[in-house]
Amino acid sequence: MHLITPLLAVVAGFAASVAAQDAPIQPQLTLLYSMDAHLGERFSLGPIPTGEERIVIPIVGGSFTGPKLNGTVLNLGADWRLTDAQGIVRPDARYNIRTNDGTNIYVQTEGFPLPDGRTMLRGKFETGSNGTYAWMNDVVGVGVLKRNGTSAVRIEMWHATPGA
Ligand SMILES: *[C@@H]1O[C@H](CO)[C@@H](O)[C@H](O)[C@H]1NC(C)=O
Ligand SMILES: *[C@@H]1O[C@H](CO)[C@@H](O)[C@H](O)[C@H]1NC(C)=O
Ligand SMILES: *[C@@H]1O[C@H](CO)[C@@H](O)[C@H](O)[C@H]1NC(C)=O
């Protein structure tokens, strides 16, 4: 009783202060791009120290389009996906894209499979800090990947920004 009463008071106080001043603000998501990425022939490294299997899926081309950037997927990169100790396939993709006005952007995504066959992705980007797309360096990306046979994927990548 002596312990629980002050604890309840603290919890109630916290809840009240959250409700009064610190209510969570939902971030906004805006579309960065919708991408069709073409895949090459996959190969396996077999079991590796950190998991059941490492599979390499080359990323060989494609295109993307969005309100603030359009362009092509370069034939340069792969998904070095890991089948982990629980048998869960975890993508680990690194590749490059080029905007139609010539800016090179490095893309890195990782994620996990959803029960419906799609894959959830976290995305981050690197590009010249002196260029038009410097803002991409600070993008927090949220992506959803959908398989299209074994030779292509459709990725919708969203840009998360704080709500107001
Ligand atoms: C990219 O293409 C889309 C659709 O074709 C267009 O609406 C958009 O303005 C383009 N954006 C840029 C930055 O070129
Ligand atoms: C950014 O810097 C690089 C290296 O100095 C240069 O080649 C490039 O032209 C610069 N880009 C812009 C848009 O100023
Ligand atoms: C699936 O791939 C085919 C052939 O590359 C393409 O025509 C089609 O638009 C793709 N569909 C999706 C949803 O990506």
6 HSE (CA, 13 A, CB side): 2
Ligand approaching nearest to the C-alpha of 39: 3
Given this model, what pLDDT does residue 17 score?
55
Rounded CA-CA distance 64/59 in Å is 14
Beta bridge partners of 43: 56
Domain boundaries, the chain: 26-161
The preferred substitution site among 33, 34, 35, 36 for testing ligand 3, maximizing ligand atoms within 8 Å of CB, is: 36
Ligand approaching nearest to the C-alpha of 147: 3
Token digits of residue 158: 């969203």
Rounded CA-CA distance 77/106 in Å is 10
Tens of pLDDT along the chain (164 residues) come to 454 455 455 445 455 555 557 899 999 999 999 999 999 999 999 999 999 999 999 999 999 999 999 999 999 999 999 999 999 999 999 999 999 999 999 999 999 999 999 999 999 999 999 999 999 999 999 999 999 888 999 999 999 999 98
> Would you say domain 26-161 falls under CATH 2.40.160.20?
yes
For ligand 3, residues with CB inside 6 Å are 36, 148, 152, 154
